[in-house]
Structure 1
Amino acid sequence: MTRAFGFVEWFRPGEHDRVEEALAGMRAAGASYLRTHLSWAEYLSPGSAEWHDWLIPRLAREVELLPCIHYTPPSLSRTGRCSGPPRELQSYADFIDHVLTRYGTCFSHVELWNEPNNLLDWDWRLDGDFLLFCEMVGGAAWWVRERGWKAVLGGPCPFDPLWLDLMGERGVLAQCAAAGFHGFPGTWDSEEGSWGGWDLHLGEMRAVLDRHNPDCEIWITETGYSTWRNDELEQARRFAGALKAPAERIYWYGWRDLPRHVPVQEGLWFDPRHYHLGAVDAAGRPKLLGRLLSTEGVAGVTAITGLCSPGLARAARPAVITGGSGFIGSNLADALLADGQEVILVDNLSRPGVEDNLRWLKERHGDRLHPMIADLRDETAMAEAVRDAASVYHLAGQTAVTTSLQDPVADFEVNARGTLNVLEGIRATGRPVPVIFASTNKVYGALEDLGMRAGDERHVPEDPRILRHGLAEDRPLDFSTPYGCSKGVADQYVLDYAKSYGIPSAVLRMSCIYGPRQFGTEDQGWVAHFLIRALGGEGVSVYGDGRQVRDVLHVSDAVAAYLRLMKALEQGHVAGRAFNLGGGAANAVSLRQVLAEIGRLLGRPVPVTQDDWRQGDQLYFVADTRALSAAIGWQAKIGWRAGLADLAEWLATHRVRPAREPERLRA
């Protein structure tokens, strides 16, 4: 039986849309409970009562609600601050009485204060022996119980069994149905140094409760893990671990990251860890934990965290693939593993669906696959990943032009700085470990200087040499869009490390790769995206006129190029060189032609809508692959029509249930 869990999420007056978004997300994630604050200080401000009249019933309709009632109104506080004890201690119980009368049908339990041993929540400098706190909370707990509700004692942070024992000696615990526990193992350095594990600390807590109130339950009212270092797997792993803790309830902090402009507490800003505790980021994009909960539930979280066990299983000189759960990476890993090699697969699992590729590889190859879920931005993790490497295939990265335009800083950190982290990790080995970097044709810019003419179905270059062979590596670099810049910087660093440090490195500037195990989206992987939409009976949006030309390359041909190029590097050839990789002139095809062929394969036309051109889009890119062929003896073998049919068959079998059965998938 799957254990129930909840989230902690604070809402501010007027955040109606965020409430609805959070409720929808938490429902999809399978949450049963929600802990939120009902600020006494905030409630007395203009309009706040009306806000809570909407908020509390709205939340209670979806989840079992636990309101945490805290923060003294400054006008009633002995210090003039929300953390100060009220001048009249009974006024706290009076406010709770009002809350029970007004909203009591919405919940069964009330939490009394938050983190009372935290100076920012309760100013114990005025109450060093906690006499004021005990009188205030003890009286409120008694009244909650008298009125037929149940009181939850706010959890101290960090956990302090002596403080909890004091609450018992003074009779507070006797009035409480549950006591809260706060713990964030792995996030706060101060806690990590003293953290002994859930069993130890909750065992201490149980011993205290048994002395004073054996019926009092343990509720983990706050636990979580900050992904400020981009270690999303660790967050999922900590979540799975917390679900095993010996407590009657668990509330995960929190659902969504805080935006950077929001103060954490009473106008104070803290270090980055406070802002990355959510299961989704500040823009609402799911992290690994949020995505797994929403798509596969707790079972999916447990399965993935169990598959990717802590630490790196050591293999004798393994191949390392960054982005190894992705489209090209998983196909490349499969080829290497099938050849008998040990593979360390490095991936942050940030792209939806790639965990399926990881499972597929693990099922096929077992213990010779060593998953390491880590982010390129984690310098230490990258050094660990490549420490024993025999070869490195660096495929991971931020892959969409549109995303780079929305967040150019993150794009740079992943693609440019992340690549430097990989290279520095290799340099630290002191060995000449060969590395191939997956670059992009976007390093050549928008190619606006090419003379082009528009045909009926495709744009055609006026230069007959380009029409015959495509664009060669002597084409000047012209970085365009943040994505082109970040990939271009990485491209040049990889080549320079061959010159400056003697690392045998090479670059493949790829055109459009497609094939099985691709999760195509509108922003990246357009061939698969077109097929997924068409198979599902949906229309396709085309940006521009649809005559844009690309030389599409089946992934099996791309994998063959990577393997041959690595062999050449190991033999002391081609280091410090960049090659264009694509299907070449024989596989040059426009978006319109691909859509027409998909319609032929499915036996029905694909509905198409047209939209404006996107920034940085090239009218034409076809890779001249003659230099690569001459260097390593490689040629593309699969024609684009046969490759498209192969991908359509795979998607129909493994990924998309057709909206209606096509007459046949025409080969």
Structure 2
Amino acid sequence: MSAAGSSSPRAGNHRSYGFVEWFRPGEFERTEQILPGILASGASYLRTHLSWAEYLASGGEEWFDWLLPKLGKEIDLLPCIHYTPPSLSRTGRSSGAPSDLKSYADFVDHVLTRYGKHFSHIELWNEPNNLLDWDWREDSDFLLFCEMVGGAAYWAKHRGWKPVLGGPCPFDPYWLNLMGERGVLGVVDAVGFHGFPGTWDSENGTWGGWDMHLGEMRKILDRYNRDAEVWVTETGYSTWRSDEMEQARRFTKALHVPADRMYWYSWCDVPPNVPVQEGLWFDPRHYHLGAVTHDYQPKLLARLLMEGGVSRIEEVTQLATPNLTAGAAPLVITGGSGFIGSNIADSFLQEGEDVVILDNLGRPGVDQNLAWLMDRHGKRVHPVLADVRDLRGIEAAFSDAKAVFHLAAQTAVTTSLAHPIDDFEANARGTINVLEAVRKAGRNAPVIFASTNKVYGALEDLKMVEVEDRYIPIHEDVRSHGIGEDRPLDFCTPYGCSKGVADQYVLDYAKSYSIPTAVLRMSCIYGPRQFGTEDQGWVAHFLIRALSGEPISIYGNGKQVRDILHVDDAVAAYRAVLSNIERVKGGVFNLGGGPLNAVSIVAVLSEIEILTGHSLETGFGDWRAGDQYYFVADTRKLEQELGWQARIRWQSGLRHLAEWLADNRFGGRPRLPEKRKVRA
């Protein structure tokens, strides 16, 4: 018999953890997708089920012959043996006791012989006091259950394996004590506990805290078997309200409960087309308990674990919310840990303002921006780690706000095409949640919204001339001034739709509810504190790849023109709008670098080669959906009404960002030439 990592840490002080994942017969591809993520998370244990009913069904033996060796080879495996084959059940249901109680022990014996080298512990049944798993109506005194499980546990222990008694759900100390009186606790090595504080309504009135419930367990076990361990075999938190930070916090809490092991339920969300249990199909909480989504996209919990394990989670989740001084009226910045948000926050914090940073920290790296703000400005930074999709979770953050900058968003066109519903929830629903929270607060706080030039669509009607390194519009006025706010809206791609919906809601709240709002439809903003990716923040992404010596992918031919704007100028625009909000409320402004900062992608790459002193390896791919050949913002409205101007020219701004990246991401300036290279 062998198993990986079978040692158990001291109760209440363990740093190791496991996950629960149920694999259904035939899910070969899903298993191959899920297992690497579990291993990359640093998990030591995996709990899965070995259904007696499924094993005896057609193809069941072949399935478990593949599954259990595969899992047991990679991780300390805990198989949970439950579900009676209906043909052997006294009730004809998988929750019924078998007609021959000894047949369960015989099956356990078979499992140990066939698969036992892949694990050291074996769990006997799951949630036996739950009607869906054990039909206690036909076994009201649990005599059948005790005889069945007690015999199987005795035999497993006799053969050298360690039996674990399945955890009751909900926790019932009277049931557990009955197991002791009936002798079951005396023949097991551990007892499971299931608890999901904060997720199920049914637990709200009965949950007394980890210490109380696990303390009760320990007292009962000490009466019947002092050597038996307490294992939390199921705990978790559903992100059905998009509160991923709370899930990460609950995980951290569960790591330190007074138990010998902790299994988090679960690694992966349940696909939306799969019924969880009979009668529970429509409860969304059952479908969002995973650390990753059903299509394997990491939530905050999974990302932090894969970035740095437990210490990384604790580093992020320990960011507290300092109390505001009574009577303080802070600025609230949603997405305040992001690139633009952190720069806006810093500008106000330098002037002594209190700033609430509302952010879900969902994007890699943005917690570094929050840490930077807190290091620089201390107690005047008030982190609220929540998601704008969760109205209940964000309302309190706006109760005393004197102004709101709403920048929290899903920002990538590519992501919106892959996950249009998630894109809608973040951008459209998230925005109306912010507006409603402001309206409910009753302080008439101004709301300045970060919209996008994508609300104008692909601009396919603009006729272009293609020259050596760029597209140029034929229309002289567009060529001279750019795209104005009078351009008709033409939503394109789910991202354009969701941001466009949000844009229009923000403007309507000025009309319908007299909330002073304004919209800035932004072009490409770049600068320090940007963690650019291929999907969003392309200027920073190109520089990061260049400084790393990595190839750069270009979509389309690279002649697309954008008016890139340095973030310092963007911050000045946001501040100017707020300062004049009573005069410009209900207004829209295009925000970009304008014609003087209009530059093609290939021209930016050429300048990056000069900055870094070496040639770039580039590759070209297909055009992306909705990509504009040319977008330059006509900023005359901002200039004329607010006196704003883009002051930083793109070449000097690009060098500024390159120097910041060299210092803050690559450890110093030597990567950049001291002097500008002159081309022959």
1: CA distance, partners of 2:50 / 2:326: 51
Give, as a single letter, the amino acid of the residue that structure 1 aligns with 2:318.
Answer: G
Report if aligned partners of 1:312, 1:372 keep a CA contact under 8 Å in 2: no
Q: Report the TM-score when normalising by structure 2.
A: 0.95
Shift of 1:407: 2.4
Give the counterpart of 1:416 among 408, 428, 432.
428
1: CA distance, partners of 2:130 / 2:174: 15
Report if aligned partners of 1:521, 1:529 keep a CA contact under 8 Å in 2: yes
Q: What is the DSSP-based 3-state SS (H/G/I as helix, E as strand, rest coil) of the residue aligned with 1:601?
A: helix
Q: 1:205 to 1:380 in 2, by over 3 A?
A: same
Tell me, yes or no, if structure 1 residue 574 matches structure 2 residue 603: no
Q: 1:130 to 1:309 in 2, by over 3 A?
A: farther
Which of 340-349 and 604-613 deviates more?
Answer: 604-613
1: CA distance, partners of 2:121 / 2:391: 45
1: CA distance, partners of 2:221 / 2:14: 27
Give, as a single letter, the amino acid of the residue that structure 2 aligns with 1:611.
Answer: G
Give the counterpart of 1:499 among 505, 511, 517.
511
**Match in the other structure for 1:61:** 73
Deviation string, structure 1 residues 335-375 (Cα, Å, up to 9, x no partner): 11111111111111111221111122122222111111111
**Match in the other structure for 2:243:** 231
Report if aligned partners of 2:662, 2:671 keep a CA contact under 8 Å in 1: no
Matches within 5 A, 1:27-46: 27-46=39-58
Tell me, yes or no, if structure 1 residue 480 matches structure 2 residue 492: yes
**Match in the other structure for 2:8:** none
Q: Report the TM-score when normalising by structure 1.
A: 0.97
Shift of 1:652: 2.3
Tell me, yes or no, if structure 1 residue 384 matches structure 2 residue 396: yes
CA root-mean-square deviation = 1.9
Shift of 1:311: 8.8
Which of 409-418 and 368-377 deviates more?
Answer: 409-418
**Match in the other structure for 1:244:** 256
**Match in the other structure for 1:525:** 537
Shift of 1:437: 0.4
Q: 1:557 to 1:487 in 2, by over 3 A?
A: same
**Match in the other structure for 2:627:** 617
Shift of 1:174: 0.1
Q: What is the DSSP-based 3-state SS (H/G/I as helix, E as strand, rest coil) of the residue aligned with 1:307?
A: coil
Report if aligned partners of 1:645, 1:666 keep a CA contact under 8 Å in 2: no
Deviation string, structure 1 residues 544-588 (Cα, Å, up to 9, x no partner): 11110000001111111111211111xx21111100100111100
Tell me, yes or no, if structure 1 residue 103 matches structure 2 residue 103: no
Shift of 1:458: 0.5
**Match in the other structure for 2:646:** 636
Question: In percent, how many aligned pairs have the same letter?
Answer: 67
Shift of 1:154: 0.3
Deviation string, structure 1 residues 500-559 (Cα, Å, up to 9, x no partner): 222111110000001111111121111111112222222112111111000000111111
Q: What is the DSSP-based 3-state SS (H/G/I as helix, E as strand, rest coil) of the residue aligned with 1:36?
A: strand
Give the counterpart of 1:605 among 606, 615, 624.
615
Matches within 5 A, 1:257-272: 257-265=269-277, 269-272=281-284
**Match in the other structure for 1:354:** 366
Give, as a single letter, the amino acid of the residue that structure 2 aligns with 1:641.
Answer: Q
Q: 1:108 to 1:48 in 2, by over 3 A?
A: same
**Match in the other structure for 1:440:** 452
Matches within 5 A, 1:148-163: 148-163=160-175
Q: What is the DSSP-based 3-state SS (H/G/I as helix, E as strand, rest coil) of the residue aligned with 1:508?
A: strand
**Match in the other structure for 1:323:** 335
Tell me, yes or no, if structure 1 residue 490 matches structure 2 residue 499: no
**Match in the other structure for 2:602:** 592
Q: 1:244 to 1:81 in 2, by over 3 A?
A: same
Matches within 5 A, 1:530-545: 530-545=542-557
1: CA distance, partners of 2:320 / 2:305: 17
Matches within 5 A, 1:203-242: 203-242=215-254
2: CA distance, partners of 1:325 / 1:99: 51
**Match in the other structure for 2:663:** 653
Q: What is the DSSP-based 3-state SS (H/G/I as helix, E as strand, rest coil) of the residue aligned with 2:193?
A: strand
Q: Which runs of 5+ in 2 are unaligned?
A: 1-12
Deviation string, structure 1 residues 164-200 (Cα, Å, up to 9, x no partner): 0000000000001100000000000111221111101
Shift of 1:54: 2.1
Q: What is the DSSP-based 3-state SS (H/G/I as helix, E as strand, rest coil) of the residue aligned with 2:318?
A: helix
Report if aligned partners of 2:53, 2:83 keep a CA contact under 8 Å in 1: yes
Which of 604-613 and 306-315 deviates more?
Answer: 306-315
Q: 1:273 to 1:65 in 2, by over 3 A?
A: same
Q: Which runs of 5+ in 1 are unaligned?
A: none
Give the counterpart of 2:178 among 163, 166, 172.
166
Q: 1:234 to 1:521 in 2, by over 3 A?
A: same
Deviation string, structure 1 residues 246-297 (Cα, Å, up to 9, x no partner): 0010000011111011121369624110110011111111111111111021
Question: When the two structures are aligned, how many residues end up with a matched partner?
Answer: 665
Shift of 1:430: 2.3
Q: What is the DSSP-based 3-state SS (H/G/I as helix, E as strand, rest coil) of the residue aligned with 1:128?
A: coil
Q: 1:2 to 1:628 in 2, by over 3 A?
A: farther
Q: 1:312 to 1:612 in 2, by over 3 A?
A: farther
1: CA distance, partners of 2:427 / 2:417: 14
Report if aligned partners of 1:536, 1:658 keep a CA contact under 8 Å in 2: no
Give, as a single letter, the amino acid of the residue that structure 2 aligns with 1:278.
Answer: G
2: CA distance, partners of 1:392 / 1:626: 25
Q: What is the DSSP-based 3-state SS (H/G/I as helix, E as strand, rest coil) of the residue aligned with 2:460?
A: coil
Give the counterpart of 2:142 among 115, 125, 130.
130
Q: What is the DSSP-based 3-state SS (H/G/I as helix, E as strand, rest coil) of the residue aligned with 2:74?
A: coil
2: CA distance, partners of 1:16 / 1:550: 46
Tell me, yes or no, if structure 1 residue 278 matches structure 2 residue 286: no
1: CA distance, partners of 2:419 / 2:636: 36
Shift of 1:306: 1.3
Report if aligned partners of 2:305, 2:312 keep a CA contact under 8 Å in 1: yes
Q: What is the DSSP-based 3-state SS (H/G/I as helix, E as strand, rest coil) of the residue aligned with 2:281?
A: coil
Which of 260-269 and 327-336 deviates more?
Answer: 260-269
Tell me, yes or no, if structure 1 residue 513 matches structure 2 residue 544: no
Shift of 1:649: 1.8
2: CA distance, partners of 1:310 / 1:320: 14
